[in-house]
């Protein structure tokens, strides 16, 4: 694991972003329907958006706007 990019999976559904990419997901809705990711706590959503936009599967922590 890259210590600078520790976010690599949806915790709620125990699915890695690499697995989602390998499944050729096309949208947040597609991911939710097929894997459930984004429908639990929702905290993986910003990373799912980045995955869809950039194809990256490892991310640094996106700071919450609630702090």
Residues in touch with ligand FES (CB under 6 A): 10-13, 37-44
Q: Which C-beta is closer to ligand FES: that of 31 or that of 53?
A: 31
Q: Which C-beta is closer to ligand FES: that of 25 or that of 37?
A: 37
Residue 40 CB, shortest distance to ligand FES, in Å, is 3
Residue 1 CB, shortest distance to ligand FES, in Å, is 17
59 C-beta neighbours (distance < 10 Å), count: 19
The 3-class secondary structure across 15-52, one letter per residue, is EEHHHHHHCCCCCHHHHHHHHCCCCCCCCCHHHHHHHH
């Amino acid at each position: 694991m890259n210590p600078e990019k520790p976010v690599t999976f949806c915790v709620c559904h125990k699915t890695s972003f690499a697995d989602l990419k390998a499944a050729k997901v096309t949208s947040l809705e597609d991911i939710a329907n097929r894997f459930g990711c984004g429908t639990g706590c929702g905290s993986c959503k910003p990373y799912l958006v980045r995955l869809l936009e950039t194809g990256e599967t490892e991310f640094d922590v996106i700071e919450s706007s609630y702090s």
